[in-house]
């Protein structure tokens, strides 16, 4: 009984550590992006079809004046920097998170809302393709899971919740890779840059990768093959994360190359870490006492 209790405690501590690290990386990567690069807030604030009536009827400003206003642009940039600062604080709090600290929960949840908004804006930029939103579902969901980790419902269903999020991410990627949506030129260029394949071979490679992503989204729910599926998801999730920095790396522009793509690596690391978390929990739970 004591051994079983110790083992369960080990599962809890390790799972929570991986979850905290995953949340830390998401917030750190987004803070890096917002503070040093940009965020797609203008996709909302400069949407004429959506905001023209409000701007001209409520704010009493002509749309052309609004869209070209330096003050409005500065306001948008200030909002981006504000969320960048929130993410930076949330990243630190994720590492030292305490469940008896209400302020910790509030900041993490504010960060999660920001990530949810970001996922919506990225989807909006892609003509409201829902797969674009679900591609980031794991990123905006795990901060919420951290906050409510000790709730009985989350404890009971955590593995299932995480598997659903993993399936959503891999399934969303697959829709682009298999050509259901137009194959991303960025994905294609990245594949060619790393592998040296021709364009046609690169498209075939992405098609195969997309099919495997779909299989991950399905087989992750079948106990007999879940272990191997999670291993693949962990490895592929980490490889595709680091691919961002490898594909755009140039020795002649060493620091510039790192700086321009490192944030994309950081906030994607949970795509490999969360499958590792589920794999670890599965392994410990099936260990024979």
Q: Kindly tell me if the per-residue pLDDT of 181 is higher than 80.
A: yes
Query: Mean pLDDT over residues 2-13, rounded?
Result: 55
Residue 252 pLDDT class (50, 70, 90 cuts): confident
Please state, rounded to an integer, the average pLDDT across all residues of the chain: 91
Query: Mean pLDDT over residues 140-167, rounded?
Result: 96
pLDDT at 254: 85
The alpha-helical segments, DSSP class H, found in 220-253 are 223-247
pLDDT at 95: 95
Print the domain residue range for 80: 2-285
Residue 1 pLDDT class (50, 70, 90 cuts): very low
CA torsion sign, 194 to 216 to 263 to 123? Answer: positive
| CA–CA distance, 118 with 219 (Å, rounded to integer) | 29
Residue 229: Cβ within 10 Å count: 25
Q: pLDDT tens for residues 113-144?
A: 999 999 999 999 888 888 999 999 999 999 99
pLDDT at 286: 57
Contact between 221 and 163 under an 8 Å Cβ cutoff? The reply is: yes
Query: Mean pLDDT over residues 96-108, rounded?
Result: 94
Q: Kindly tell me if the per-residue pLDDT of 25 is higher than 90.
A: yes
CA distance from start to end of the chain: 10
Q: Kindly tell me if the per-residue pLDDT of 10 is higher than 70.
A: no
Q: Could you give the number of structural domains in the chain?
A: 1
Q: Kindly tell me if the per-residue pLDDT of 250 is higher than 90.
A: no
Query: Mean pLDDT over residues 225-251, rounded?
Result: 92
**What pTM did the predictor assign?**
0.92
Top-ranked range on mean pLDDT: pick from 14-18, 186-190, 284-288: 14-18
Residue 288 pLDDT class (50, 70, 90 cuts): very low
Query: Mean pLDDT over residues 178-195, rounded?
Result: 87
Q: pLDDT tens for residues 79-89?
A: 999 999 999 99
More confident residue, 283 or 188: 188
pLDDT at 159: 95
Residue 61 pLDDT class (50, 70, 90 cuts): very high
Contact between 260 and 30 under an 8 Å Cβ cutoff? The reply is: no
Q: Kindly tell me if the per-residue pLDDT of 6 is higher than 80.
A: no
Q: Kindly tell me if the per-residue pLDDT of 3 is higher than 50.
A: no
Query: Mean pLDDT over residues 169-192, rounded?
Result: 89
The alpha-helical segments, DSSP class H, found in the chain are 2-36, 42-45, 48-53, 63-67, 70-95, 102-125, 130-134, 137-147, 152-177, 185-195, 199-219, 223-247, 254-268, 270-285
């Amino acid at each position: 009984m004591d051994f079983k209790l110790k083992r369960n405690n080990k599962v809890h501590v390790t799972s929570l550590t991986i979850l905290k690290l995953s949340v830390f990386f998401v917030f750190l990567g987004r803070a890096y992006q917002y503070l040093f690069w940009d965020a797609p807030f203008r996709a909302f604030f400069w949407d004429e079809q959506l905001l023209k009536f409000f701007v001209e009827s409520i704010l009493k400003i002509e749309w052309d004046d609004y869209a070209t206003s330096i003050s409005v642009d500065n306001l948008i940039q200030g909002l981006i920097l504000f969320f960048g600062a929130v993410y930076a604080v949330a990243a630190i709090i994720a590492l030292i998170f305490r469940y008896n600290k209400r302020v910790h929960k509030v900041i993490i949840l504010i960060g999660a809302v920001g990530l949810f908004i970001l996922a919506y804006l990225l989807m909006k930029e892609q003509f409201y393709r829902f797969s674009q939103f679900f591609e980031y579902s794991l990123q905006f969901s795990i901060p919420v899971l951290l906050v409510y980790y000790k709730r009985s419902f989350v404890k009971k269903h955590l593995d299932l919740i995480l598997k659903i999020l993993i399936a959503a991410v891999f399934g969303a990627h697959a829709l682009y890779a298999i050509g259901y949506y137009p194959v991303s030129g960025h994905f294609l260029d990245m594949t060619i840059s790393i592998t040296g394949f021709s364009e046609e071979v690169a498209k075939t490679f992405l098609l195969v990768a997309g099919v495997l992503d779909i299989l991950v989204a399905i087989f992750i729910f079948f106990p007999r093959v879940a272990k191997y599926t999670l291993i693949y998801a962990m490895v592929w999730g980490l490889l595709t994360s680091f691919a961002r920095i490898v594909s755009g790396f140039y020795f002649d522009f060493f620091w510039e190359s790192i700086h321009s793509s490192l944030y994309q690596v950081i906030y994607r690391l949970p795509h490999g870490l969360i499958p590792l978390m589920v794999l670890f929990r599965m392994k410990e739970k099936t260990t024979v006492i």
